[in-house]
Amino acid sequence: DGSFGPIFVRLAWHAAGTYDKHTHTGGPGTGASMRFKPESAWGANNGLDQARARLELVKKQYPGISYADLWSLAGVVAVESMGGPVIPWRPGRVDCTEQTAPKLRDGLLPDATKGASHLRDIFYRMGFTDQEIVALSGAHTLGRCHTTSSGFTGPW
């Protein structure tokens, strides 16, 4: 449909979704590490290059904003512009460089081909409850699936 809102929400989520509450690694503190391989090439991040490329237009216009802040802000603005709640947002995320990017392992993000126990493992690692997992899964009602991104097509 041409709307970038759903993919901006997905980008913001995937940038934060590597968080581990036990080790305090991953997540928004990675400094937009998805700009670099291998993270940018993870199967779970397929298609997000389109969102990153679209936001490059904003980055060129506002070079002082970090990528980490830009991706987070894009997700917040997308939720609000699609009729969602107003989300408090604060700047201050610092970008990593290719040399300082954390060495995250693939498999930290949910895989739609796996079952409920996999989702629980992924979300529990971040500190979410079952109720919060259900609420966050509702984001899949935004937009639609694309075979080039997830292997699935159409609405969830």
pLDDT tens digits, residue range 133-156? 988 887 766 765 566 666 666 665
Does residue 129 sit in helix, strand or coil? Answer: coil
Cα–Cα nearest to 29, from 108, 93, 75: 93
Query: Tell me, what's the pLDDT at 8?
Result: 96
Query: Tell me, what's the pLDDT at 37?
Result: 96
Question: Tell me: the pLDDT tens digits for 32-55?
Answer: 999 999 999 999 999 999 999 999
Query: Tell me, what's the pLDDT at 81?
Result: 94
Residue type at 69?
D
**Candidates 13, 14, 24, 89; catalytic one:** 14
- Mention every residue, 6+ apart, whose C-beta is less than 8 A from residue 101: 30, 31, 33, 35, 36, 39
Q: What is the DSSP string of 80-121?
A: HHTT--------------TTT---PPTT-S--TTS-HHHHHH
**CA Rg value for the chain:** 15
| 156 labelled catalytic | yes
Read off the pLDDT of each residue in 9-14 and give the average, rounded to a whole number: 95
| 118 labelled catalytic | no
Question: Tell me: the pLDDT tens digits for 74-129?
Answer: 999 999 999 999 999 999 999 999 999 999 999 999 887 898 899 999 999 999 99
**Candidates 13, 118, 146, 156; catalytic one:** 156
